[in-house]
Amino acid sequence: SLCFLLCSFAFLSLPLFHTFISLLTLFLGDVRVRSRAGFETERRGSHPYIDFRIFHSNSEIEVSVSARNVRRLLSFQRYLRSSRFFRGITVPNSSNILDDDYNGQAKCMLEKVGNWNFDIFLFDRLTNGNSLVSLTFHLFNLHGLIEHFQLDTMKLRRFLVMVQEDYHSQNPYHNAVHAADVTQAMHCYLKEPKLSESLTPWDVLLSLIAAATHDLDHPGVNQPFLIKTNHYLATLYKNTSVLENHHWRSAVGLLRESGLFAHMSLENRQLMESQIGDLILATDISQQNEYLSMFRSHLDRGDLCLEDANHRHFILQMALKCADICNPCRTWELSKQWSEKVTEEFFHQGDIEKKYHLGVSPLCDRQTETIANIQIGFMTYLVEPLFAEWARFSNTRLSQTMLGHLGLNKASWKGVQREQSGGGEDADPAFEEMDSDILPQEPRLS
């Protein structure tokens, strides 16, 4: 193995050892897997850190190595316990996982995973921060995907754990809990009559994977920030759908690393990767106007045929777009929490931009913006137009419930706005000033 080889060379003279390490680094290079489809996947943290102090022998280092081995042992014990937990095996007298009461409450919540008032924040607490893994694994089983696609449950769990770990928990909004919330919303849409009657297991599989990975490895700042700071991702993707391309490539990297679909043919795996990319790329807000216009045109003509695979795929794109920005359509208690979290992330970016004199991005200045103003603008120019068209497509109780919450939440934020300003504009002018390609200027709903 590589470790054994390194240890063997450690006994060489120091110059020879350094020469060997240099050659080894040159040989390994950037360890990415180039697909036959012609692009490189991305995997954050795929390059293992090697602490070269282990090749020196002194008591201080030996103590630190010993401590590290203990930590690794504890981590392995936690892995075994969590593995048993996800297989439904009770681990008695465990202080490292949730007690039986919390496990029972989490399972009760999963029985109602299709309810629109599902509290993802509570579920995340009950699963000890494992909401994305627990919920997505449950949905794979609920939809019969594990059996239909003959998936190895341990590989599936490993994939989901890697996905969850590649979200940044320090992000107030774009984290694994948001991904779990979007996945739960996507499940609700998949249950709608028009979709449930026509979708294939393949469609459901793509939808759940895309929802769970749609913001994978999100850095907590937006695309304009990456562009103006000359971030390598902006250069890599030529300033076009930078974050969405990164989320997609990262998801593909984890799929390949986990080997979850290694038993499938290469052709099917490549098709899966491509179609997951189509879904994730549709969440790019800069393409909102284009997708909304296409959706509206289809509805006006009445030519959507869900027996057509291309039409089903387009509807799944629209469903994921809805799931991604459905926070204002939740109950006030949930919607308000999401509003506070996303604004906190905006303001954090603005603080960085101020510190380094980069020019504060729209909606990111905590001195001039408020949560109420931002949310009213968001609902007016983005959420209402999209969900109005979704209700035309799927005029169900769920659609009316979402529009009802949307109206009530907007009225609540207007009340907050009036209290703060003594009566002001309904929407943040920053939304109207932004590029029309990014934010469609749609008429407001009555």
Residues annotated in a binding site: 174-178, 214-215, 324, 375
Active-site residue among 47, 56, 143, 174?
174
Burial of 248 (0-12, 13-18, 19+ CB in 10 A): buried
Quickly list DSSP for 81-142: HHHHHHTT---TT-SSS--HHHHHHHHHHHTTTT-TT--HHHHHHHTTT-HHHHHHHHHHHH
**Partners of 207 in the beta sheet?**
none
Q: Identify each DSSP E strand in 323-428 by its residue range.
A: none
Binding-site members for Zn(2+) are 178, 214-215, 324
Catalytic: 348?
no
Q: For tokens 């809805």, what's the residue?
A: 322
Closest to 210 in 3D by CA, of 144, 146, 281, 155: 281
Q: For tokens 């068209």, what's the residue?
A: 389
Residue 356: C-alpha distances to residues 218, 229, 268 (Å): 21, 10, 47
Residue 112: C-alpha distances to residues 26, 118, 135, 221, 402 (Å): 53, 7, 11, 33, 17
* Residues annotated catalytic, as ranges: 174
